Amino acid sequence: MPVFRSSAFGRTMKRAAWPAVGLTLMTFFGIYAVLGPNGMLAYGDYKRQLAKREKDYQVLDHRREVLKNRVALLNPDHANPDMVDEMTRKQLNVVHPDEVIIPNK
């Protein structure tokens, strides 16, 4: 028979085992709640990511509006002549003899 069961030290250790396990588990989950990937310290990182993604969304939303406008101008039922002329010249790479081309730098 083990020596610890009969001594006062063994009885004390046996009584303290479950509270020690419980305290260890509570400490683990408490630390995880603060320092874990979804903990309180990760909240600031989430706010930075949200701000960046909102900015990206605004850029994409503006770009979508520009493309939506261009599509509306190229509608076959009532196409904008200037837009059609611009697209045709760009695709075919043609100019009139009296036009001057100024390249953008």
Domain ranges of the chain: 1-35, 44-105
5 confidence band (pLDDT: 50, 70, 90)? low
Task: Note the Cα 84 to chain centre separation in Å.
Answer: 38
The whole-model pTM stands at 0.49
Q: What is the dihedral of CA 12, 14, 18, 23, to 10 degrees?
A: 40
Rounded CA-CA distance 105/103 in Å is 6
Question: pLDDT digits over 89-105, tens only?
Answer: 778 877 777 877 677 76
Question: pLDDT digits over 24-66, tens only?
Answer: 999 999 999 999 888 888 888 889 999 999 999 999 999 999 9
| pLDDT over 60 (residue 4) | no
